[in-house]
Amino acid sequence: MKKIYSINWDYNHSEDMERDAFHIPFENSDKASTLFLSSRYKDKLPDYILFRANFNIIPEFDYPLTDLNVPILSDRMISILNEIDDFEAIFTKVIMLDDTYLESIYDETGNLKSEIKTALNYKALTIVNREDCFDFENSIYQPSELNPNKPGFIEKLVLKSTEYLPPIFRIRETPSKLLITESAKSALEKNDLKGCVFEEVETTSPRPI
């Protein structure tokens, strides 16, 4: 039976007030954790996100910890996941700016100053689809007040280890949780990806039809 893991940020590595980067506010940035959760909000996503970043950490970490609570992946991490299998996602450009640059970041024409050290090898991730692998029988949850047929608070998450899952995915029942397959976890660890930690999710084998 194939294992499934949740992917989370490594909170123990940062030297900069528990965050690797802090965003520069953009329209609806106060709702970013919701907007980047679903493709239904794609028209409200920014063209790019600017972060003031700790460059003692950022060049080395593939899954940086920011103040937006939005998954930010290095291009290398995205490439490794794509090598395992395709997954449908929206990628928003990220520009990391050296946080030691204390002057205005824009020149007189409104463009970013060329002398600022930047890192352009990151993207914000929005997973498009939701996978149908929630195990209603073995998970422990309270029914939603709005729809009793759907989970509300989930005390114990159990997923069905189905034959096919994309390397990185979300589910409808707990959309804020970012999940990866066992093969994806192995590939990320093999390539020494930094900044992410994994927690195994209990799984069951689907019943034969």
- Whether the CB-CB separation of 97 and 105 falls below 8 Å is answered with yes
DSSP-derived 3-state class of residue 30: helix
Asked whether the predicted pLDDT for residue 42 surpasses 80, the reply is yes
Highest mean pLDDT among 10-19, 154-163, 180-189: 180-189
pLDDT of residue 14: 58
Model confidence at 209, pLDDT cuts 50, 70, 90, reads low
Average pLDDT over residues 26-46: 95
Q: 122, 103, 121, 124: which is closest to 112 by C-alpha?
A: 103
- Whether the CB-CB separation of 4 and 131 falls below 8 Å is answered with no
pTM summary value: 0.91
**Average pLDDT of the chain?**
93
Q: 182, 200, 141: which is closest to 8 by C-alpha?
A: 200
pLDDT of residue 144: 86
The whole-angstrom separation of Cα 106 and Cα 139 is 51
Phi-psi region of 69 (alpha: psi -120 to 50; beta: other; left: phi over 0): left
pLDDT of residue 11: 86
Instruction: Give tens-digit pLDDT for 156-175.
Output: 999 998 878 999 999 999 99
pLDDT of residue 101: 95
Query: Which helix (H) or strand (E) element contains residue 72?
Result: strand 72-74
- Whether the CB-CB separation of 98 and 113 falls below 8 Å is answered with no
pLDDT of residue 15: 56
pLDDT of residue 112: 95
Asked whether the predicted pLDDT for residue 96 surpasses 90, the reply is yes
Largest CA distance in the chain: 66
Q: 140, 124, 141, 138: which is closest to 178 by C-alpha?
A: 124
Distance, C-alpha 194 to centroid of its chain: 14
Backbone angles phi, psi at 94, to 5 degrees: -125, 135
Asked whether the predicted pLDDT for residue 74 surpasses 60, the reply is yes
pLDDT of residue 123: 98
Say how many residues make up the chain. Answer: 209
Distance, C-alpha 108 to centroid of its chain: 35
Percent residues over pLDDT 70 in the chain: 96
